[in-house]
Structure 1
Amino acid sequence: MNFEKSIKETSVRADWIDLRDQHYIPNLSVLRDAASLDPKLIPLDAKTNLHTLRYGVRNQGSSGRCVGFALANLIDIQRNLQWLRRPENASAALPDDNKPFLPDIVSADMLYRMAFFHDRYPDLEDETTQSIEGVRTLRSAIKGFYHHGVCMDWPFAEGTIDQDRWQSSCFNELSLDGARLFPTVDQAKSARNVGLGAYFRLASVLNHFHTALNDAEAVLTTANIHDGWADPNPDQGGFITWPPKQGISGTHAFVLTGYDENGFHVLNSWGPEWGGYKKQAGIALWSYADWAQNVVDSWVLRLAVYAPSAFGASIGEKGIKGIHGKIQSGSTPCSELVGHYMHLDDGFQVSTGSYPSFSDGWSHTRRYLEKQFDPKASAEEKAKSYKGVLVWIPGSLEGTKSAFDAAVQRKNIIKGLDLYPYSIFWCNNFVEKSIEVLQGLFDSCEAQAGSDAAHLDDLIESRVRGVGRAFWRDIEMGARRAVRGSGELPYEPAELDKLERIKQGFAKLCILDLIKLRHETGCEVHIVAEGAGALMVHEILSALDEDSEANDRAHSEHANWRKHAIFDTLHLVHPAIGMPRAEKLLIPFIDAMNGPVKGTKRRKKSSAKARVRSVLKAESDPRARIYIPEQDLEDRIHFGSYGKSIIHLVSRAFEDRYVASSNSKDNDVPIFSDARPFLGMAKIAEDADFSARGALFQLNDISSPTRDHDRISQVELNTDQTITNDIFEAIQRYRTAKK
């Protein structure tokens, strides 16, 4: 191996400061004088007379992907130690050959690629830095591992035929995985089997390092390296020369596997010829003086026990005053929902961060669904396949993490209905940040007027009006661009050829494909839209209304979409859409889906149990439903310091309410009109002229234990499962009636 070239091209970066990091705290156990790898893990190779790891010593070549290789080494150490320490294997005799206890090693390249989504700070990087191979941090690799897991590698020169493996380029430069940026469905499913359990940042304190190596038996580390790192070999004892002849050459990632009185044991990824300390292939001695001068970042990790049924067991509180409610204590790994979501922001795919999404993601899912819905499939194949798709469109208040958590929690329930769950996250990134701004304004108003002031709501409405209008317009525009693309963005003429312009929104293409699949295969398509997700449904219907070509392609000949049930069921939960807009397309569409619904208004009945009841007592079960709170429940809802629901705040402060009035001889003086009614308000149920009364269903309370007349936060309402359970039951009844 060309060590000089490898050192020169090494370009791992120091971790950014993040005060949220959890730090490793040393315990008071008695430390060993020296620590090293378990002898069973590194037996003697008779051919080289060196102790060699049973799964081999990696060689990254000049790839610059040391972060992925170092993390892969640590994971494989822990996987093998887990195997060794199972009761049935603890007393097993060592095999005579050099075959590993586990026949597989994890993919270093997948770990490296997944780090990309958590590593970039575009505003702080120039174009040359962004393109350098190897620019990653330890934190980004750890977060990538947490969110995506890791599948197995294919450590052979020929290409793999196993679709659930990701072959690292060090084994085969022509591998099809060489240019891959995101795992395939098979790779993602396989990667769930190896996950991260816990990780802590390690302070650069000698005692902490010694204790960590006693506890975790391996430490992930980066350090500034020099020409002395090129010297270690078995003939000279495997020492990294210190002090060096030249200065620092770069920053490198590796694993510490032990220590003794002379320094730390470094497991590198430069092949078995490197190192040789104490006759250990690939392992060298790093002196304490060198460590103290050049260590950069270090972490200790523990692998997770594979236990998918434990998801959601740990719940914690975040935020204040109900603006943020209960969330899972840690963010949900992305691997839990791969293939089941689309993540958009302002109409564009979100390709970085914890939950990346790509323009070709839906096409992969669509091809999978085509096979599931194939009308020519055998009876046995149909028995094992999905019967349709349930598209869930989160709305108003959910940030990305909480919306993602909720999607994962309902995934298996939806699958139990023989439906493929698919979520479209379309404005959650923006909402998450905007809520923080609103919370600050709420606090300011409360500090001015007091929490019990009668005029606090009026003060909040007045104070947040400017920010609120911008907030709501951006949500409306986010829905429009998710469906219609970004073609109308106000670019300067010189920018037209430089910036991406999306002619058809990704959400529209998804829904059109599903409508077409329903027409061609008879599969079911169910839509659930929460809060402002109703705006997305409105935009989809509006686009269908204008796109005659799409109508002809998606529906039977001469069919008009307004009169044709293009979805099997439609559920709008607390829809945050103004009535003037809803009356244009959404309500007529709901009327067309349900047909004439005759019935008498139900009498209100008190109930100590949370439940959903239809406004009209009718014989038919409507296919389109609008879920709203009863008036008593709506009166108890508050949004942070604001004493009413988010829909009321939008109606009274976020929606444009200016009208021109000729109160002046010279100019029209703008005044406020009445607050605009919203489809998700309780008073809609009392409107005898509302045409879609048969679609209205009212929630009387939330299911979490509260005292009568207690205030209910908006988040508690949004996360309550009563309506969700009713949706699943309604879909099941629809399917039964259909048969």
Structure 2
Amino acid sequence: MSTPTKVRLELGARADAVDFRDAKYQPSLGEVPATLPPERFLEVACPVLDQGLQMACTGYALATVANFLLRSRARTSGRIPEDVSPEMLYAMARRYDEYPGTNHQGSSIRGAVKGWHRHGVCSKRAWDNETCDGTNYGTLGVLTRARSEDAGQRPLGAYFRVQVDDVSALHGALSEVGCLIAVLSTHDGWFDLLPEDQAGAPPNPLLATLRDMAAAAPGKPPIGPEGAKARSVEPRKGLIPYPAPDTLKLGMHAVAVIGYDADGVWIQNSLGPRWGRGGIARLTWDDWLDNAQDAWVLRLGAPIKVGQARAKSTAGQSANRNAAKDYNDIRPHIIPIGVDGRLQEHGTFATTTRDVASILRDEFRMQTEAWQRRRLLFIVSSGIYPVDHTVHKVVELRDVFIAQEVYPILVLWNGGFADRLAGILRAGWQTRQPPPGAQLAADQSDDRIDGSLESLCRRMGGWVEWEHVKRMAERTVQKKGAMAETLAQLSRAFAFSEADHWPFDVHLVGESSAAWIIGHMVAEITRAKADGGPERRVASATLCGPACTMAFFKQTILPALDNGRLDRCSLVTLADALEQVDGFAGLYRGSLLWLISSALEEAQRIPPAVTGTPMAGLSRHIEADPEVMAVFQRASPDQPARAEWVSLDRGDFSSGAGQLHGRLLQGSQVHNLLDRVLNANIGVPVPGR
């Protein structure tokens, strides 16, 4: 006898990846009832949701839990709260689950719960009323300002993992809260509770799909209503048979657990009210213990008023409170780049092309409607230093920029290169240490030590790390790259502004390796249009300690200056004497930029040579290049300079101590940046100056 073919149908849940940081639910010594019948849950009249064939069960199950908690809280007031949006919960789940990206479907409970904890959950009305295809799960939903503010009214307070094989913990969590969310492996018995199609009603899409799959699997036992009849199952009793034939797999599925008794646990599903006993059913304890994967118990948070009377949850803040005081205010000012050079679609500031379009078309216009002159400033992070501090600075300075009619957008990418390079340098230096008690050679000059460190850094992986930074910068402007998508949306914004007689200026600024991205942006924005369309211009580009080669600078920035499509360019560098003593990793005398020039670019410095590859951010290389120096010397009384080079000494910094690279966009330098963007001396106080 041949074995029946097994068929698998996914409903969208994924098991949580193991994470020992999860807070575990600890049951109290309070008495638990012998049974917790589903009627207690049903008293609050939560709607039975129907996900159809969407693989969004985590969002729907969590919405059921949220609706129960909100309705339970509101019972004393007599007011029925609005139902929450399962689509938002699912969209946020895919930002935070352990499976980054949006090309897959389904999500984990942990991801869904994190999404609620970080952002709150908006009402179904608020999500559906926005101009957004909430059913398109091929891309993330757009968390607009209106949705985010509405979601802040429904914060999540605490959440704990419940050990699925700890029956006492399950009893305690259910008796304490009333419901929890769980993911289970499902089987044929779940299908036995599907109803027959009603005469004159549209066919059940899930049942139709099951029948099509059954037809493709000859020899398989009957499923759905036919299987229930063959196995004498009464769907209306809501008892899921177990063990079942198990020849048709649904994969994993998320549900709300709503009660228990001696025979099993009661669940509310998201397959519509005609499944099981009005949308609920009971799993046997054997079924639960064999198939339950994850379970979480949750408690609501309480909205509080912060700042301008805007209700929000302290739990609704981003993971790093220094990085985002207020998600609603900061979100429209951040575009993150993922490790593949594409838009980062995972995490607190997850961004899709639609999000970028919303920022450039809606948020920017709304903020600047009454401005006399609209300025859009892209601040590209260094790509070398950790991004947290950069985000914090933009948060701190946002109001300063806005007050001067400058709309800042922070482009975050590839932080941490400096830390990785420092680790390589220290590890390499350890290999050169003498054994204990050995006599040291007397001829170890500082220059010879630096030369050894440069060679070690290049050979032990530093060159590979730096090439990765440059390749990633290039990928951002290639097809489907983050900046390619951003520039495409910027081009559309230009077109809209011309049609509506609503002009704006574009300014670019960045430090260190951000120069690789800014150079590509300048070249792309100012590229002559083959179709004869209107020329695009960049009002200003400010490069602080640019870690790009001089050849790249002359290939991308200088042509735009020459053809007039880049109005102004500023180079901000450290004085040559400072570059040589800025220090890096506590070992190398020179600056990080000096190390890149000497060890990580194509032309490596070979002692006794003084320098390596010419870099646009090193003063001595600027002075040594006649073509570049000619650009900075074109100013005359009748024609102000369109290019300026500012060489900073230690006295130009608010604090003279510590490494200066990485501080070229802080304190008083931010004030100078605003001067350049506004092309005027504004004299505005800057935080931290």
Change (3 A) 1:38 1:383: farther
Unmatched 5+ residue regions in structure 2?
A: 1-6, 196-232, 435-439, 634-642, 684-689
- Which of the residues 170, 173, 197 maps onto 1:209? 170
SS of alignment partner, residue 124 of structure 2: coil
Q: Which residue of 2 aligns with 1:463?
A: 456
Shift of 1:206: 2.6
Q: How does 1:237-256 map to 2 (within 5 A)?
A: 240-241=239-240, 243-247=242-246, 249-250=249-250, 251-256=252-257
- Which of the residues 287, 298, 307 maps onto 1:290? 287
CA distance in 2, matches of 1:712, 1:331: 26
Q: Which residue of 2 aligns with 1:537?
A: 518
Q: Which residue of 2 aligns with 1:575?
A: 546
Shift of 1:191: 5.9
- Which of the residues 475, 479, 482 maps onto 2:469? 475
Q: Which residue of 2 aligns with 1:19?
A: 19
Q: Which residue of 1 aligns with 2:591?
A: 645
Shift of 1:287: 4.1
Shift of 1:153: 1.8
Q: Is the 8 A contact 1:220 1:256 kept in 2?
A: yes
Q: How does 1:204-603 map to 2 (within 5 A)?
A: 204=164, 205-213=166-174, 216-229=177-190, 230=192, 240-241=239-240, 243-247=242-246, 249-250=249-250, 251-259=252-260, 263-272=264-273, 282-306=279-303, 338-344=331-337, 349-350=342-343, 352-354=345-347, 355-359=349-353, 361-368=355-362, 372=366, 382-383=369-370, 387-398=374-385, 410-411=397-398, 413-425=400-412, 428-429=413-414, 432=416, 438=421, 440-449=423-432, 457-466=450-459, 467-483=461-477, 485=478, 505-506=484-485, 508-509=487-488, 521-543=502-524, 547=528, 553-554=534-535, 566-567=538-539, 569-579=540-550, 581-582=552-553, 586=557
Name the aligned partner's letter for residue 224 of structure 1: S
CA distance in 1, matches of 2:274, 2:256: 17
Aligned residues: 600
Shift of 1:723: 3.3
Change (3 A) 1:653 1:328: farther
Q: Which residue of 2 aligns with 1:605?
A: none
Q: Is the 8 A contact 1:637 1:714 kept in 2?
A: no
CA distance in 2, matches of 1:630, 1:403: 26
Change (3 A) 1:389 1:64: closer
CA distance in 2, matches of 1:18, 1:701: 50
Change (3 A) 1:417 1:623: farther
Name the aligned partner's letter for residue 298 of structure 1: A
Q: How does 1:45-56 map to 2 (within 5 A)?
A: 51-56=42-47
Q: How does 1:115-264 map to 2 (within 5 A)?
A: 115-117=93-95, 135-145=106-116, 149-154=120-125, 162-163=129-130, 181-183=140-142, 185=144, 188-190=147-149, 192-193=151-152, 194-204=154-164, 205-213=166-174, 216-229=177-190, 230=192, 240-241=239-240, 243-247=242-246, 249-250=249-250, 251-259=252-260, 263-264=264-265
Q: Is the 8 A contact 2:619 2:647 kept in 1?
A: no
- Which of the residues 55, 58, 61 maps onto 2:49? 58
Shift of 1:333: 10
Q: Which residue of 1 aligns with 2:69?
A: 78
Name the aligned partner's letter for residue 203 of structure 1: Q
Name the aligned partner's letter for residue 124 of structure 2: D
CA distance in 2, matches of 1:232, 1:509: 47
CA distance in 1, matches of 2:178, 2:323: 25
Change (3 A) 1:312 1:393: farther
Q: Is the 8 A contact 1:424 1:507 kept in 2?
A: no
SS of alignment partner, residue 464 of structure 1: helix
CA distance in 2, matches of 1:654, 1:312: 46
1:655 corresponds to 2:601: yes
SS of alignment partner, residue 509 of structure 2: strand
CA distance in 1, matches of 2:429, 2:25: 40
CA distance in 2, matches of 1:655, 1:65: 48
CA distance in 1, matches of 2:320, 2:617: 25
Name the aligned partner's letter for residue 142 of structure 1: V
What TM-score comes out, normalization by structure 1 length?
0.64
CA distance in 1, matches of 2:110, 2:645: 53
Name the aligned partner's letter for residue 422 of structure 1: I
Change (3 A) 1:406 1:575: same
CA distance in 2, matches of 1:371, 1:32: 56
Shift of 1:221: 0.6
Name the aligned partner's letter for residue 456 of structure 2: R
Task: Say which is worse superposed, 398-407 or 209-218, in terms of deviation.
Answer: 398-407
CA distance in 2, matches of 1:517, 1:62: 38
CA RMSD of aligned residues (A): 5.4
Q: Which residue of 2 aligns with 1:667?
A: none
Q: Is the 8 A contact 1:232 1:241 kept in 2?
A: no
Shift of 1:69: 0.8
Q: Which residue of 2 aligns with 1:107?
A: 85
Q: Is the 8 A contact 2:381 2:514 kept in 1?
A: yes
Task: Say which is worse superposed, 507-516 or 647-656, in terms of deviation.
Answer: 507-516
CA distance in 2, matches of 1:713, 1:450: 29
Give deviations 1:271-299, integer Å, cap 9, x for gaps. Answer: 445566xxxx6444444443222211122
CA distance in 2, matches of 1:58, 1:286: 19
